Amino acid sequence: MCAVALTMLVATADVATAQETQVETQRVRETPRVEMLRLSGSVSAPRTSHLSSAEAGQVSTLHVDLGTHVRQGERLLTLDSREAELERQRAQANVDQARAARDDARRLLDEANQLAEQQHIAASEQRQRQNALAAAEATLDAQQAAQALWELRITRHEITAPFDALITRRDTELGEWVTPGDTLLTLIDVDALMVDFSVPYSAYAQMDDATLEVRQEGDGQWHAARPQAQVPQDTRNRQFLLRAAPSEALTLMPGMAVEGRLRIEGESGPSVPRDALIRRPDGSVSVWLARQESGQWRAVEQRVEIGNSHEGNVAVHEGVAVGDRVIVVGNERLEQGQALILGDDKE
């Protein structure tokens, strides 16, 4: 009888040992909540100038063509200024005439002052000559201003580059008549290109702790970029414009498509490896925890609320605590309360 009982006890122990499953676990760690937004954008040229003329005239010289690189102050286009030159010469002649009249009025007043000292001239005559000198000086000032205006208008017949740039469009030809406001040339500063992205408003308040990387389509390498401006733009789609400058010199041209990834760090919290997650057909997500009961490790299923994932780890908002052991290997066919053998047990 005793022999039979001993045999049954040994058999029961063998069955329990056979039911133990070997698994590997990892501790739940506290990590920053990291959200990685993938963005699609394009290259823009904020420093773009559509040049026009302040004067009407006929194009006499074109110094550049489409695709020309120009330096600041370089001549781009010249209008026929012969008529303006003649007007300037007329204004100069008027200045000379007014100056001569002013000098004559001054001479007459000097004579009147000398005669007044000897009381050989009426006081009214002296005042009249003073007024004549004042009028002559005012006339001279007006003629000099007219001359300066024509000299300014002559300089406006020549259009120069406002900054170092690339000519991307030319809308005029030799001999054409242009008027003020007509776009003649379009320039862009290819050394000050930016990348623009549309970003959800949900990220707007977290931009102070965000980092941005960009790359061109087909390029496997990411490059750091410095955000320059966050401008509310598309209220209907709840997006804002994020404009950034690449930290490295990239081969970019306006209109190129670029990719971006925006890393946003929030508060710290528990996270688990992605391999620990069990996704159920009903849409719920759970993890298997390894917990000790009477000296024996056992499997405990725990439903969790998860957040964003980053570099293989998934944020957990509810269900686990920092320090819990989550099963990452051998969690496919576990049952509630199943005995475990931890391959990574150091305790």
Which tens digits make up the pLDDT trace of 89-116? 999 999 999 999 999 999 998 888 888 8
Rounded to an integer, the average pLDDT of 232-237 is 77
Q: How is residue 238 written in tokens?
A: 């709840």
- Highest mean pLDDT: which of 76-85, 206-215, 312-321? 76-85
pLDDT band for position 346 (cuts 50, 70, 90): low
Phi-psi region at 319: left, alpha or beta (left = phi > 0; alpha = psi -120 to 50): left
Length of the chain: 347
Rounded to an integer, the average pLDDT of 234-246 is 86
Q: Which pTM does this prediction carry?
A: 0.65
Calculate the CA dihedral of residues 52, 55, 56, 57 and round it to 10 degrees: -90
Domains of the chain: 21-32+269-342 (2.40.420.20), 37-47+192-267 (2.40.30.170), 48-186 (2.40.50.100)
For 86-91, which contacts have Cβ atoms below 8 Å and span 24 or more sequence positions? 87/150, 87/153, 88/147, 88/150, 88/151, 88/154, 91/143, 91/146, 91/147, 91/149, 91/150
